[in-house]
Amino acid sequence: MGKQKYYYSKAKNYSKYRLDYSKSAIDFIFNTANLNQQSTVADIGSGTGILSKHFLDKVHDVYAIEPDNDMRIVAEEIFEKNKSFHSIDGTSDQTHLSDNSIDLICVGQAIHWFDPNPTKDEFARILKPNGWLAILWYETNDTNLNRAYTQLRDMNIGWDNSIEPNRPPKKPLEYYFGTNNPQHKIFTEDFIEIWEGFLGSAYSQSFAPNPNEIISQKFEQEHKKMFNKFAVDGKITFSYSTHLVIGQPSL
């Protein structure tokens, strides 16, 4: 996971408007990995701390590993008074953590930016024997909403689709667990979004333009059309699922 320029001007929107992970999924992690006040957690690709915040004050230390300066600074501002939060300028394959020091590695949406081979080696280095790995992501369950949103990802309204080829080659998530088969759990709930959140979430995407670009006017117009199509009384209500893959890697 190298440094990415795409989020530099998006960190505030990312922190404020991105979907959170299901609390039920977080509870499942705590119960399955037997986390307690002595546990040490590493959030790899931690961004603005959306995932890290669920572990703070419930474990001894949370190491937030994030290469993007703006994302990391936002997290540091939010959690600066929390003694269990430790911000580190690092990547998935260079975390700067000690050998065999981590009880749980957790990874959110950032997994799609990781280079699998060196990342797996780094996970093996920092994880304690019998330690745990949890990978989370979310997706909306409304087919029509997903289709409409996909159609908006057009370069003519500001989407920079050239970013996609810069992602490392993907491997199945099971790759990170070695020969041990992880559990895959799905936690579904509803989310209500108003126009401000809908637009803010769109601007937080790596493919989106910055709000000060001329093309952003077209970007907002087209997103407003979509919002109005699906909104009822100024709100869009949709079902989304948090996916959790968790296990003890044989690394």
CATH code where residue 58 lies: 3.40.50.150
4 in any annotated domain = no
Chain Cα centroid distance, residue 170: 16
- pTM for this structure? 0.90
Using an 8 Å Cβ cutoff, are 247 and 181 in contact?
yes
62 in any annotated domain = yes
194 in any annotated domain = yes
79 in any annotated domain = yes
Mean pLDDT computed over every residue of the chain: 92
* Host domain of residue 19: 11-247
pLDDT digits (tens, 9 = 90+) for 57-97: 999 999 999 999 999 999 999 999 999 999 999 999 999 99
Mean predicted confidence (pLDDT) in 4-16: 68
3 in any annotated domain = no
29 in any annotated domain = yes
CA 44 to CA 107: how far, in whole Å?
A: 5
Domain count, the chain: 1
Helix, strand, or coil here: 27? helix
Using an 8 Å Cβ cutoff, are 103 and 132 in contact?
yes
78 in any annotated domain = yes
Q: How big, in percent rounded to 5, are the helix, strand and coil portions of the chain?
A: 40, 25, 40
Closest CA to 42 of 130, 121, 115, 122: 122
pLDDT digits (tens, 9 = 90+) for 128-151: 999 999 999 999 999 999 999 889
205 in any annotated domain = yes
Residue 248 has pLDDT above 80, yes or no: yes
Where does the pLDDT of residue 166 fall: very low under 50, low under 70, confident under 90, or very high at 90 and above?
A: low
CA 84 to CA 87: how far, in whole Å?
A: 10
